[in-house]
Amino acid sequence: MKNIFLLILIFAGAQFTFAQQIAKVNSLEKYNKEKFSDVFTFELTEKVSKEKVLETAKYYTKYFSASFDERSNTVTLKMNSQDWQNRHIMRRFFAGMGIEEVNMEGTPVKTDDFFKEYVLTTDQQPK
């Protein structure tokens, strides 16, 4: 019985340790303006450290630069060129950060859907 309880406790602890991260976009209007300048800004949870952001971003310096504001917990990704591949690579950065959902003005959007509808689009007003 002790073993079963211990196993359940370990499993529950692992769930909290590997919990998904959420990125947040507070203003779609501001997001669209920045997007067409190849700049993407996301607010992250307080669990995310500057070290984690920069460690993950160092693998993608060919495609974009990353900065992190610790006061507001925001990461800013600036594409190195207006190449759609850079935006696709940004998805890898999200995966490396464990970001599985983007809160878009209060609406949760799965990361894959977010990239299809809000990152890889060319229109001014995404769905």
Please write the tens of the pLDDT for every residue from 79-112.
Answer: 998 888 888 899 999 999 999 999 999 999 999 9
CATH number, domain containing residue 54: 3.30.1370
- Determine the Cα–Cα distance for residues 13 and 88; give it in Å rounded to an integer: 33
In a domain, 60, yes or no: yes
DSSP of the chain, one letter per residue? -HHHHHHHHHHHHHHHHTPPEEEEES-HHHHHHHHTTTEEEEEE-TT--HHHHHHHHGGGTTTEEEEEETTTTEEEEEESSS-HHHHHHHHHHHHHHTEEEEEETTEEEEHHHHIIIIIS--SSS--
Higher pLDDT among residues 86 and 69, named by residue: 69
Specify the pLDDT at position 82: 81
Average pLDDT, the chain: 84
In a domain, 86, yes or no: yes
The pTM assigned to this predicted structure is: 0.77
The domain tally of the chain equals 1
Q: Residue 26 is part of which domain span?
A: 20-119
Specify the pLDDT at position 17: 43
